Amino acid sequence: LWEGACIVHEIFSSEKIFKLKNRHPNAKVIAHPECETPVLQLADYIASTTGLLKYAINDPAQEFIVATEAGIIHQMQKAAPDKVFIPAPPDNGCACNDCPYMKRNTLEKLYLCMAYEQPEIFVPEDIRIMAKKSIDRMLEISAQHGL
């Protein structure tokens, strides 16, 4: 759909998730839609990070294998301390499911961006059209899940 990728969502190993699921048969696999197709095929639930958080809080399951950026696991543990959240294993070594690019964002940077509408970004029309398809699809998925 779009020539781009998220380094975190590309690293998960469907084989290792399958083995982990066998060790935790009652765990539900929850995954971000940017994960590779083999990982999504193993998922019990697919949603944005916000959707995954809400699902983990509200679902009666007590164990979850989480295939998304590891930072969300802390929020899940805070919101549902009685549940177990297991990070999905990466395919190669320890990438720690951590996105260095997301960590560059801060509340201060977000505030300044919103307050001053800066920096202004110009996107070529052909790229805007392709990107709009992806954004519309993400919004559609969110709406389907009440987000």
Q: Which CATH superfamily is domain 7-144 in?
A: NadA-like (3.40.50.10800)
pLDDT tens for 64-114 read 999 888 788 899 999 999 999 998 887 766 556 666 666 677 888 888 888
pLDDT tens for 42-56 read 999 999 888 999 999
Q: Is 67 helix (H, G, I), strand (E, B) or coil?
A: strand
pLDDT at 80 (0 to 100): 96
Specify whether the CB–CB gap between 49 and 61 falls below 8 A.
no
Domain ranges of the chain: 7-144
Residue 58 has pLDDT above 90, yes or no: yes
Question: Can you give the length of the chain in residues?
Answer: 147
